[in-house]
Amino acid sequence: MNHPIWTNFFRRPEPQVAKIARLWGDTLLFKGISQRALLQLAKTMHPRRYAAGDTVFKQDDRGAGAALILSGQVAVRSGNTTLAELSSGDFFGEVALAVDERRTADAIACEDTELVFFLRHELEEWIEQAPREGAQLGLNLALILGNRLRKANQMLARDHSES
Q: What phi and psi, each to the nearest 5 degrees, are found at residue 119? A: -90, 150
Binding site for other proteins (CB under 8 A): 9-11, 36, 40, 44, 46, 48, 50, 54-65, 100, 102, 117, 119, 121, 125, 129-130
Name the residue nearer to other proteins (CB basis): 40 or 88: 40
Q: How far is the CB of 10 from other proteins (least distance, A)?
A: 4
Ramachandran region of residue 63, left (φ > 0), alpha (ψ -120 to 50) or beta?
beta
State the nearest-atom distance from the C-beta of 9 to other proteins, in Å: 8
Distance (Å) of CA 44 to CA 39, 75, 110, 119, 120: 9, 26, 26, 9, 12
N residues, the chain? 163
Query: For the chain, what is the radius of gyration of the CA atoms?
Result: 17
* Nearer CB in complex with other proteins: 23/56: 56
CA–CA distance, 163 with 107 (Å, rounded to integer): 29
